[in-house]
Amino acid sequence: MSKPVKKRTTSTPRERAALTLACLHLDYGQAECALTHDGPFQLLAATILSAQCTDKMVNTVTPTLFARFPTPAALAAAEPAELERLIHSTGFYRNKAKNLIGMARGLVERFGGEVPRTMGELLSLPGVARKTANVVLGTAFGIADGVVVDTHVARLSHRLGLTRQQTPEKIEQALVKLLPREEWIFFSHALIWHGRQVCAARSPACERCRMNDFCPSATLDRKDARP
């Protein structure tokens, strides 16, 4: 990644959002969802598992999970104890197993075994909040209904001065007002990549960041820049 030449002063979150988006396209133009999946059902299940867990860990669990329960009908009929054993390493496994079975039963009983394509219908499924629904709509169906707000997006939105809101819902509301709708899906994928590769929670690598000439939190003198 290129280094900045000088510090740039920006006055509004909208201006910083536009600059951030331009940098993300330069550095992460091919950014996509990191959860390994084959189709909307697997993506939905994997995203439910990703709560309070890394995508890397989820990807180690899902091959066995989907081999054992390849369809919503199979997962709906799963024994909770067996499912808990399979997903134990993702954390909160009892609640996640309950949500996975409930989600699968909802798909079978109300949606003909297919993952629905609307926010309202997805939110009616156990274990599905806006983050999960936005992941599925954007990645599986190319539908931009909102911006995925995970821990990386929330943290970087604060550091970049895009919003001071604290809850995921309000952060999302702020971001959709700053970004073109056609960029909502890309923006979250790319910002997550940036959060993992450069702007880490404890030690952001500001010296390697293309955005440090306009990021309010950037510093080249220390590595613990915080919003």
Residue 55, Cα to own-chain centre: how many angstroms? 10
Residues 6+ apart with CB under 8 A from 24: 31, 186, 187, 190, 191, 194
Catalytic, out of 27, 96, 145, 150: 150
Where helices occur in 144-183 by DSSP H, the ranges are: 151-159, 168-178
Reply yes or no on whether 131 is catalytic: yes
Choosing from 27, 96, 131, 145, the catalytic residue is: 131
User: Torsions phi, psi of 92, nearest 5?
Assistant: 50, 40
CA distances from 39 to 27, 80, 82, 131, 158 (A): 27, 24, 23, 18, 33
Do the beta carbons of residue 15 and residue 9 sit within 8 Å? no
Phi-psi region of 52 (alpha: psi -120 to 50; beta: other; left: phi over 0): left
With residue 52 as reference, give the H or E element that holds it: none
The yes-or-no answer on residue 145 being catalytic is: no
The secondary element (H helix, E strand) that includes residue 100 is helix 93-110
CB 147 within 8 A of CB 188: yes
> Annotated catalytic sites, by residue?
131, 150
